[in-house]
Amino acid sequence: MEQQILQELESAAKIILAQPSVVTNQQRTEAENVFLNFRRTKCPYQICKYIFDHTSIDYVIFETCNTLKDAIIREWNYMEIDDVNSIRDYLLQHVLNHPNTPVFVREKILQVIAIMVKRGSVTDLGAERRKLLGEVERLIMSGELRKQILGCSIICALMQEYSNTVKSADVGLPWEAHLSAKKQFEMTDLKNIFQLCVGSLNEICKMDGSFSENALMLIKSLLLIAESTLMWAFISATNILFILHARIYRFSTHEADFNLSLKLSTHWKDIILDPSFIQLFFHLHWKIRNSAHLTHYTLNCLVQLASLNGPIVAVKQVKIDYIKNYMSCFLSFLNSVDIVDREAIGVSNIFLKLLLFNKMIIMSDLGREELVNNFFRQMTQLTCHFAEKASQHDSANYDESMFTEAFDNMLKAWEHLFLEHNENLFVESSKCIFDSYLRWHLSPPYGSRSKATSEEVDEAEEEEDLNKFGSQLVSIGIFARQVLDHSLPNLAKLIDEKTYELRLMWQGASNNNIQRDDLYEDLHWLLMISGHVLTNDKDESVSSIPDSIMKYSIQRAPNVNINASLTLLTTVDRSITQSDYAQLEESIDHVVWLVSAVFRLSELEKQMGEAKLTHVLSPTLSSTIAWFLQTWASSYLLLPEAQNSENSFVLVSAFGQQTDCAKWLVDFILNKVQSNICLFSADNCVTENTCKLLLSLSSTRNKALFLLKNEFFWSVINNGLRSHSGYVSPEIKRVLIKSLTTATSAYDGPEEKRREYIDQVLKSIIEKFRGIVLEENFKKQYHDEMIRSEIMEIIHLFIGVVEVAGVIQSTATTVCKCLAEYLSPVLSDMVSLISIYHNYQQITQLILELFKECSRTMLCYLSSSQNEARVFYEICLRLVETYVKHNSGRLTEEVNAEEDSFQDMLLFLDLLTNLLTKDIIDCGLAEENGEGKPVVNSVHVCILGLQGILPLMSVETLKFPTLCFKFYSLLSYIWELHAEKVCEQPHEFLVNILAVIELGLTLFGTQITGICCEFIQFFSRHLCLHAAQLQPEKFLLLQPFLKIMMTIILSRQINSENIKVFGLAFHSLICCYKDYYLRLVEELISSQTQPDIAQRLSEAFTKLTAGLHLGYDRQEKLTFENNFEKFVISIQEFLFIK
Amino acid sequence: MADIEDTHFETGDSGASTTFPMQCSALRKNGFVMLKSRPCKIVDMSTSKTGKHGHAKVHLVGLDIFSGKKYEDICPSTHNMDVPHVKREDYQLTCIDDGYLSLMSDSGELREDLKIPEGELGAQLKADYESGKELLCTVLKSCGEECVIAIKNNTALDK
C-alpha cells in the first residue's frame, strides 16, 4: 500500500518536473491532482515516514512535508504528545543526516518542525522549544559551518512562525491563542536567541583581516536573525489595540506596519545598553561594507538601533549616554569612509531616526558641543553629496537612484528639525542645500543636470513633476525661506536671465531643439521652486503669505525704493538683463522682483503664442507658469490688509486690494487665462492648470467682489462661452461658467444684487436651451449633429453651474434655493430630452450626470418641508421611469453596449445614494407638510428608483468591480437604515433583491461577500425585532439563507477576513429562525455516513451555541462571534479530508 | 506648419459630407471618429509626447460601429480628425417580407430597404415578430451605411 502510494507520487513528480513539450496539459493536471489529494490524507504520518525513508526525489519530499503540515494543523487536537515528539525528532534527524538536502526542501521541513513547536508551546509553555533551542545552540557552537547555518535556519523558521499575525487561520489557531504564544516566546526565548546571535557575531568580528567566504555565509545567517529581532513587532498594549482595530475594520496588519521603531522593555538592558554592542555593529558594518549582499542587513540593524525608545531608555541619562555613544560611533564611521550608493539609504535613515526619536536630546541636552556640531556638519555635507550624486543619474531613472531616496530621507530629517527650531541655527546648511538642489535641477554651466532626452513619454504613466517631487519641493521651500536674502534674488536673477535667453532665441529663430528644451526645463524647475518658496501651503484651502517672507520684506523696507519696485512689477514687455541686476538687488523688494520676473516670462510666452509659435513652446512649461500664477495669486493677489499681524508696506502696495496695481494684476492674469484657453486648447495639462487658476480667483470673497465688478472678467467669460466648441471645448466652457457661479456665490453683498448676477449667469443659457427645444422643427431636427452638440454644450454648462452650487458655505442655502428655482423647469425638460435622445448615449449620460450633481451639491440645501425638494424627487422618479421605459427589454448589438450600460448604471447608483444621504442630513425632520399630507421623502424615491433599475442590472454588468461595489453598498445602506420602509415594498421586488444577495455571497469576491453578510445581518435583525408586526410571508423571506450560509460555511473555507461578518449574519439568522436552524443541524448530522464525523459535527454545533438563548442582544452577539471563529477552525479539522 | 494644420482636406466622394472635422484634442471617449476610413466609436484614448517638453499626440482606439472591428490611429493633438455623422432612429416594424423589413418612422414614412440583421439579433427579431410582438427597431446610420442595431418590445404604442 505505502509502496504503491510512493510509486504514484514519484511518477506524478516526474510529470510535473518534465519539460513542457514532453507532457500534455491533461497529464500535468492529473499529476497535480495526485498531490492535492495526497494532502488531504487522514493521519498520513506512517506513509510520510515511509516516503522519507524510501525516496530520493526532492520534490516528493517537499510535497510530503506539505501533506504532513496540513495534517498536523488539522489533526493537532487529536494527536498524542509522543507521536508529535517522535515526528519532530525524526524530521530533525532527517535534516541533520542529509546534509545535501536542497534549501527549498530543508526550509519546508524546518517549517513543519517550527509549526509543531509553536502549537505545542500553547500547552507546554515552551518546554519543547527550549529543548530544541538547546540543540540549536550546540549546533551553532560546533564550529562546523554546515551545522551552524542549519542552527540559524531553525531559529529563522521558529521566528517566522511566531511572528505571523496575518495568516493565523492557516495555522489552525484562534487568533488570541496565536498572540499569547507569541507573547510567551518574546518574553522568554527571543532575548536568548538574540544573545546567542550577538555573541557569535562578536566572536567572528574578532578575526583579523578580511572574512572568508564561509565566515560571510555565517554572518549573513546571523545578521538575518539580528535583523528580525530588532524589527520584531513586540506585543504591547498599544499595538494590541492597533491589531484589534485592524481586524475590526479589515485593514492589513502586516508586521512592517508597526515596527517603525525599536521599542524595548528594560528586560533587554544588559545587551543593548552595553556600549560595545553598538560598536560591534558599526565595526561589523565597516568590515563587510564591500560585500554588497550584506550591507543591507547591518544597516537595517543600525537604523533600528537609532530609533531605540521605550522603557529601556526611560531614564534620561541612560538615553543621553546611549545616544552619545551611538553618535560618536556613527560619526567616526562617517569620517573614515566615502558613502557608496548602496549605503546611502541606510545612512540617511539613521539620521532621520536619530532626529525623529532623539531631537530634544541632540538639540538641547547634549549642548552645542563638538559632537553635535560635527553631526550637523556631516548631515549638511551628506545632504549636498546625495543631491550631487543624484544629479549624475539619468533623470529618467529617477526611481532607481538610491541617492534620490537618500536625499528625500535627509530632507525629512531636516524638516523635522525645522518644525520647532526656527532660529537661524542652520543658515549655512540651508544655503548649501538650497544651492545644491538648484544645481541638481539646472543645466550647465550653472547646474549639473544631464541632457534632456527626446524619448516618447506616455502621459498616463508620466507623473507630473509637481506631484512627483511635491514633498521635496516643500522642503526646499523651507530651506530657501531660512536664507531669503540669498534665495529670492538668486531665483529672480536666474528666471530673468533665462527669459532673456528665450527672447533672444525667438528673435534669432534658433532651431536647436535640445538647447531649447534645456532652457524650458530650467525655467520649469525655477518656477516650481519659486512657487514653493513664496508659499508654504500644503493645504490649499488656507492661503497666506509665510511669516518669514513678510518679515524679510519689512526688514529690507528701509533700503527699498517703492516706486521703482512697483514700476518693475508692471514692466513685463521688456527684458531685464545682467546690467540691471546689481541695482535691482539693492533697491527693489526681492519678492516683487521674483514675481515680476515670472510675469515677464509669462508675457513673453503669450507674445510668442500670438506670433503663431505655439508649436515651439513647451506645454509643460506653460502649465507650470499657470500653476505658479495660481499658487502666487491664492496667497498674494488682492492681499487683504488685515491678514497678517505685521504687514509689509511694499507688499501691500504691490499686491493689496486698494491699490492702483490691483486692477492691472487681475487683468494681467485674466489676459493670460484667455490667451491660454485659445492657444493651448490642445494641451490638456495647460488647460487644466489654467482652469484651476481661474477657479482659484473666484473662490474667495474679496477676489470675487473685485471680479464681478470687473468688466474684463465678464467679457473673458462671455467670449469663451460664445466661442465655437472647436476652439473652446465644452469642458472648458464648463469651467468658465463654474468660475462665474463661484464668484456669484462668494459675493456677500445685497441679496438682490446676487440674484441679478445669477440671473446674468443663467438667463442666457436657459434662453438658448429653450430656443432649441421649443423650436417648431425640433422634433424633426433633433438628430442634426449641430443641434446635438449645442444641446450637449448646454448640459455641460448646467453641470458646471450645479457642480459649484453650495461651494461657498456661508451663502450655500440661498444660492442653492435660487438656482433650484431656475433649474427645476430645466430638469423637467431634461427628462423629456432623455426620451428624445435615448439612442444617443453621450447625451443620456450628460443628463444623468446633471441629476447626479444636483443631488450631490444642491439637494441637501433644499427644504424638505417646502416644495423644493419634492419637486426634485418627482423629476427624479420620472427620470428613472423614462430611462427604464427606453432601455428595458432591449436587445442591442451596439459596439461596447455593455460598458455604456455600466456607465449609466453607475450614474444612477450615485444619484440614488445621494438621495439617501439627504434623508440622513434632514434627520427625518419634516415628515409632513403644512396640509397634513405625507411628503414624498428621499428614501421612498431611492427605493422606487432601485425597483426601476434593478431589472436592467445583469450579472454581466455586475462584473464591473466599481459598479458591483456601489450597488451592494447601496443595498446594505438602505437595509441598514430603512429596513422598515423596504418591507412595505412588493414581495416580488424583495425576492429579486434577495436573489441578487445570494449571488453576491459567492460570486464577486471577498469584499462583496462581506457586504452581503452585513445586508443579511441588518435585514434579519429587523425581521427578528419586528416579527410580530410582519406578515408571515415577509418574515420568512430570509429563511432560505440559513441553509445557504450553512452550506457555504461547511463546504468551503470562508475567507479569514470575513469570518466576523459571516458569524454576525449567521447569528442574526439563527435568532430569527431558531427552530428551523435546529432542524437543519439535526438533518445535517443525521445525514453523515461516518459516525465519528457525525459525532464531532454534533459537538461543534453544540459548542457553537453553548450557553446562548439565541436572542438578539449585544452580549450574545459577542459570545457567538467568538464561538463562531472557533467553530470554523474546528470543522476544518475533520470536514475537509478524504 | 500652423497653416497646414488649419486646412482640412475633404476625402469623401459624395457632395453631402458624411463627416465633419474636429481638433483631435476635442475628441472624447465614447464619441466617434473616422479611423482608416471607417466610422468608429472611441473606446480608448491616451496621450504621449516626444520628450518632456514636446506636444501631445493622441493615440486612439476605436471599434467600427457596424462590424465591431478594432482600429487604431495616432495623431498630434492639434490636428484635425474626421468625425462621422452618426444617426440612430427608431422605427416600428410593420412586416417582414422576403428577408426585408418594412419599417415605419415616427412621422409615418415607410421604408422597406433594410434586411433582417444577422446573428442573434436577427433571430430574436424574427421570433418576436412571429409571436406577434410589436417591435421597435433602432436603425444606425453613418457614412451611407445603415442597419438595424437594436430591437425592443414596443410598450409605448399609445404615446
- By Cβ distance, the residue of A845, A885, A896 closest to B41 is A896
The tens digit of pLDDT for each residue in A484-522 reads 999 999 999 999 999 999 999 888 766 677 788 899 999
pLDDT at B107 (0 to 100): 84
- The DSSP symbol for A101 reads -
The tens digit of pLDDT for each residue in A46-60 reads 899 999 999 989 999
CA distance A682 to chain B (A): 5
pLDDT at A1136 (0 to 100): 56
Cα-Cα-Cα-Cα torsion A193, A195, A200, A205, nearest 10 degrees, comes to: 140
Does residue A40 contact residue A1138 with C-beta atoms inside 8 Å?
yes
Chain B CB contacts of A779 under 8 Å are 106
> A613 pLDDT exceeds 50?
yes
Tell me what percent of the residues of chain A surpass a pLDDT of 90. Answer: 49
**What's the Cα-to-Cα distance from A487 to each of A269, A382, A476, rounded to whole Å?**
48, 21, 10
Return d(Cα A281, Cα A223) in angstroms, integer.
10
> A170 pLDDT exceeds 70?
no
**Among A410, A335, A418, which Cα is nearest to A380's?**
A410
Chain B from 26 to 55: CB within 8 A of any A CB: 26, 28, 30-31, 41, 43, 46-55
Letter string b/e over residues A545-565, b meaning 16 or more CB atoms within 10 A of that residue's CB:
bbebbbebbbebeeebebeeb
> A241 pLDDT exceeds 70?
no
**Closest chain B residue by Cα to residue A456:** B50
For residue A453, name the pLDDT band (cuts at 50, 70, 90): low
Count interface pairs A-B at CB distance under 8 A.
134
Return d(Cα A180, Cα A384) in angstroms, integer.
48
- The DSSP symbol for A478 reads H
Contact A620 B41 (CB under 8 A): no
The tens digit of pLDDT for each residue in A101-144 reads 898 999 999 999 998 998 888 888 888 899 999 999 999 888 88
Residue B63 φ/ψ, nearest 5 degrees: -115, 130
Does residue A230 contact residue A305 with C-beta atoms inside 8 Å?
yes
For residue A534, name the pLDDT band (cuts at 50, 70, 90): very high
Return d(Cα A357, Cα A361) in angstroms, integer.
9
Chain A CB contacts of B65 under 8 Å are 894-895
- By Cβ distance, the residue of A517, A726, A899 closest to B53 is A517
Write out the H or E segment, with its range, that includes residue A758: helix A751-773
B31 in the Ramachandran plot: left (φ > 0), alpha (ψ -120 to 50) or beta?
A: beta
pLDDT at A245 (0 to 100): 56
The tens digit of pLDDT for each residue in B104-133 reads 998 888 999 999 998 899 999 999 999 988
The overall pTM is greater than 0.80: yes
pLDDT at A734 (0 to 100): 92
For residue A252, name the pLDDT band (cuts at 50, 70, 90): very low
Upper half-sphere CA count for residue A197 (Cβ side, 13 Å): 28
- The DSSP symbol for A573 reads S
| Sign of torsion over alpha carbons A327, A333, A334, A335 | positive
> A580 pLDDT exceeds 50?
yes
Residue with cell 443663467: A762
The 10 Å Cβ neighbour count of residue A336 is 8
pLDDT at A648 (0 to 100): 87
The answer to which of A1126-1135, B29-38, B137-146 has the lowest mean pLDDT is: A1126-1135
CA distance A936 to chain B (A): 27
Tell me what percent of the residues of chain A surpass a pLDDT of 70. Answer: 92
**What's the Cα-to-Cα distance from A285 to each of A201, A280, A343, A346, B61, rounded to whole Å?**
11, 8, 10, 11, 55
Q: Which residues pair with B147 in a beta bridge?
A: B140
The tens digit of pLDDT for each residue in A928-967 reads 444 445 556 788 889 988 998 898 888 888 989 999 999 9
Return d(Cα A141, Cα A206) in angstroms, integer.
16
> B1 pLDDT exceeds 80?
no
The 10 Å Cβ neighbour count of residue A691 is 22
Contacts of B143 (CB under 8 A, 6+ apart): B18, B19, B34, B38, B39, B84, B85
pLDDT at A795 (0 to 100): 96
Return d(Cα A446, Cα A116) in angstroms, integer.
66
pLDDT at A514 (0 to 100): 75
| A456-458/A890-892 β-pairing | unpaired
**Among A192, A202, A207, A254, which Cα is nearest to A223's?**
A202
The tens digit of pLDDT for each residue in A1024-1067 reads 888 888 888 889 999 999 999 998 888 766 787 888 899 999 99
> A1018 pLDDT exceeds 90?
yes
Q: Nine-digit cell at A263? A: 521599542
SS3 content of chain A, % helix, strand, coil (to 5): 75, 0, 20
Does residue A735 contact residue A684 with C-beta atoms inside 8 Å?
no
The tens digit of pLDDT for each residue in A9-47 reads 999 999 988 888 888 889 999 999 999 989 888 888 989
For residue A164, name the pLDDT band (cuts at 50, 70, 90): low
Task: Note if the bond before A619 is cis, omega within 30 degrees.
Answer: no
Does residue B88 contact residue A839 with C-beta atoms inside 8 Å?
yes
Chain B CB contacts of A902 under 8 Å are none
pLDDT at A454 (0 to 100): 64
pLDDT at A511 (0 to 100): 64
Kindly report the three-state secondary structure assignment for every residue of A686-714.
HHHHHHHHHHHHHCCHHHHHHHHCCHHHH
Q: Nine-digit cell at A916? A: 439617501
Return d(Cα A1036, Cα A1015) in angstroms, integer.
16
How far, rounded to the nearest angstrom, does the alpha carbon of residue A253 sit from its chain's CA centroid? Answer: 15
Strand, coil or helix: B136: strand
Cα separation of the two ends of chain A: 17
List the single best residue of A839, A840, A882 to mutate versus B (max B Cβ within 10 A): A839
Chain B CB contacts of A620 under 8 Å are 52-53
Write out the H or E segment, with its range, that includes residue B90: strand B86-97
Strand, coil or helix: A839: coil
Chain A CB contacts of B41 under 8 Å are 895-896
Q: Nine-digit cell at A476? A: 526646499
> A166 pLDDT exceeds 70?
no
Check: complex ipTM more than 0.95: no
Most distant CA pair in chain A: distance in Å? 104
Contact A894 B152 (CB under 8 A): no
Chain B CB contacts of A886 under 8 Å are 152
The answer to which of A5-14, A333-342, A566-575, A640-649 has the lowest mean pLDDT is: A640-649
- By Cβ distance, the residue of A455, A726, A839 closest to B26 is A726
Average pLDDT taken over every residue of chain A: 87
Upper half-sphere CA count for residue A4 (Cβ side, 13 Å): 1
pLDDT at A671 (0 to 100): 95
- Comparison of pLDDT for A865 and A553, the residue scoring more: A553
For residue A737, name the pLDDT band (cuts at 50, 70, 90): very high
Chain A from 723 to 752: CB within 8 A of any B CB: 725-726, 729
**What's the Cα-to-Cα distance from B55 to each of A514, A526, A609, rounded to whole Å?**
15, 21, 14
> A268 pLDDT exceeds 80?
yes
- What is the arithmetic mean of pLDDT over A577-583? 87
* Sequential DSSP letters for A778-833: HHHHTT-HHHHHHHHHHHHHHHHHHHTTT-SGGGHHHHHHHHHHHHHHHHHHHHHH
Chain B CB contacts of A612 under 8 Å are 2
Q: Nine-digit cell at A355? A: 532626529
For residue A450, name the pLDDT band (cuts at 50, 70, 90): confident
Contacts of B123 (CB under 8 A, 6+ apart): none
Q: Nine-digit cell at A370? A: 563638538
pLDDT at A258 (0 to 100): 46
**Closest chain A residue by Cα to residue B155:** A885
* Burial (Cβ within 10 Å: 0-12, 13-18, ≥19) of residue A167: exposed
Contacts of A546 (CB under 8 A, 6+ apart): A481, A534, A535, A536
The answer to which of A255-269, A471-485, A847-861, A976-990 has the lowest mean pLDDT is: A255-269
The answer to which of A241-255, A304-318, A427-441, A755-769 has the lowest mean pLDDT is: A241-255
Q: Which residues pair with A22 in a beta bridge?
A: none
For residue A542, name the pLDDT band (cuts at 50, 70, 90): low
Does residue A347 contact residue A354 with C-beta atoms inside 8 Å?
no
> A815 pLDDT exceeds 70?
yes
**Among A700, A697, A776, which Cα is nearest to A745's?**
A700
Contacts of A18 (CB under 8 A, 6+ apart): none
Q: Nine-digit cell at A785? A: 449633429
Using alpha carbons only, give the angle A690, A610, A730 rounded to the nearest 5 degrees: 40
B63 in contact with A, Cβ within 8 Å: yes
For residue A1137, name the pLDDT band (cuts at 50, 70, 90): very low
CA distance A857 to chain B (A): 26
Chain B from 96 to 115: CB within 8 A of any A CB: 106-107
Q: Nine-digit cell at A55? A: 525516496
- Comparison of pLDDT for A671 and A455, the residue scoring more: A671
Chain B CB contacts of A890 under 8 Å are 150-152
| B86-97/B135-142 β-pairing | antiparallel
The answer to which of A298-307, A358-367, A852-861 has the lowest mean pLDDT is: A358-367
Chain A CB contacts of B52 under 8 Å are 452-453, 457, 517, 521, 620
> A969 pLDDT exceeds 90?
yes
Does residue A552 contact residue A484 with C-beta atoms inside 8 Å?
yes
The tens digit of pLDDT for each residue in A687-730 reads 989 999 999 888 888 888 899 999 999 999 999 988 887 778 88
**Among A1038, A946, A958, which Cα is nearest to A991's?**
A1038
> A482 pLDDT exceeds 70?
yes
**Among B28, B30, B16, B83, which Cα is nearest to B58's?**
B28
pLDDT at A766 (0 to 100): 94
The 10 Å Cβ neighbour count of residue A810 is 11
Return d(Cα A1114, Cα A920) in angstroms, integer.
25
Return d(Cα A125, Cα A310) in angstroms, integer.
27
- By Cβ distance, the residue of A457, A458, A895 closest to B52 is A457
**Closest chain A residue by Cα to residue B20:** A785
| Sign of torsion over alpha carbons B28, B29, B32, B38 | positive
pLDDT at A254 (0 to 100): 45
> B80 pLDDT exceeds 80?
yes
For residue A575, name the pLDDT band (cuts at 50, 70, 90): confident
Q: Nine-digit cell at A1057? A: 477576513
- What is the arithmetic mean of pLDDT over A71-83? 86
The 10 Å Cβ neighbour count of residue B56 is 21
- By Cβ distance, the residue of A517, A841, A895 closest to B68 is A895
Q: Where are the domains of chain A?
A: 266-421, 465-697, 698-854, 863-985, 1014-1138
Residue A262 φ/ψ, nearest 5 degrees: -95, 105
